[in-house]
Amino acid sequence: MSILQEISANVQIGKAKIVKTLVQQALDEGISAQQILTDGMLPAMSIIGEKFKNNEVFVPEVLVAARAMNMGTAVLKPHLAGEGVQAAGKVVIGTVEGDLHDIGKNLVKMMLEGKGLEVVDLGTDVPAAKFVQTAIDENCQIICLSALLTTTMNVMADVVKAAEEAGIRDKVKIMVGGAPVTDAFCQQIGADAYTSDAASAADKAVELCAG
């Protein structure tokens, strides 16, 4: 079994400490942080998701896998951080109200910080008004929204409306993402940008801050 397969297998069974050790070992062996993430850790969460859908694993197993994933990505964090010119800008990020999924949101945050952007992380289950108030109070250029449930993605439309009602829509860009979100949905709700993964989200945020 390759080390990436070992990482995937241990994320799936939630062996957080072993994942942490294996991720460090893979880095020491010269495997890039991006490859560890893309070929080791992300496939593990897809497999868990499939098993969850088919009732082969249940919430407790998914939670321990998520914890192992988060511990592994913490080791990757300094290595995923971009090098070179650091962008200037401030972003508020969170998972929308009703939604507790935060692995993707944490990855986006990590990549944004890697690009030198300052990030205010509101966590999960964040009401629309909180995003808008934070953008005002903290003088953020971008609101970044993550949703993993088809039932919560509509809260993103509430954030767009709340920003309009607060009179900040022309000053703040709104970015959306997460597994059920699409470019068509982004356009439908009047948000500014959809990206499918954390690295593209960070690139887009830099572009929007510069613009």
- For ligand B1M, the binding residue among 31, 120, 160, 201 (CB under 6 A) is 201
With respect to ligand B1M, which residue has the nearer C-beta, 45 or 140? Answer: 45
Give start and end residues of each alpha helix (H) in the chain: 3-12, 16-28, 33-35, 42-53, 59-80, 103-114, 128-138, 155-165, 183-189, 198-210
Q: How far is the CB of 11 from ligand B1M (least distance, A)?
A: 10
- Phi then psi for residue 84, to 5 deg, are 90, -150
Pattern of binders to ligand B1M over 18-57, x per CB under 6 A? ------------------------x--xx-xx--xx----
With respect to ligand B1M, which residue has the nearer C-beta, 22 or 181? Answer: 181
Terminal Cα distance for the chain, rounded: 47
With respect to ligand B1M, which residue has the nearer C-beta, 26 or 199? Answer: 199
Separation CA 201–CA 177 (nearest Å): 8
With respect to ligand B1M, which residue has the nearer C-beta, 114 or 178? Answer: 178
Separation CA 109–CA 122 (nearest Å): 11
What's at 82, amino acid-wise? Answer: G
Tokens for 59, please give them: 């919430």
With respect to ligand B1M, which residue has the nearer C-beta, 136 or 149? Answer: 149
Binding to ligand B1M in span 81-140, by CB under 6 A? 98-105, 107-108
Burial class (CB in 10 A: 0-12, 13-18, 19+), 39: middle
Contact status: 144 vs ligand B1M (CB under 6 A): yes
Choose among 54, 56, 48: nearest CA to 12: 48
- For ligand B1M, the binding residue among 75, 159, 178, 208 (CB under 6 A) is 178
Residues in touch with ligand B1M (CB under 6 A): 42, 45-46, 48-49, 52-53, 59, 62-63, 66, 98-105, 107-108, 144-146, 148-150, 175-180, 195, 197-198, 201
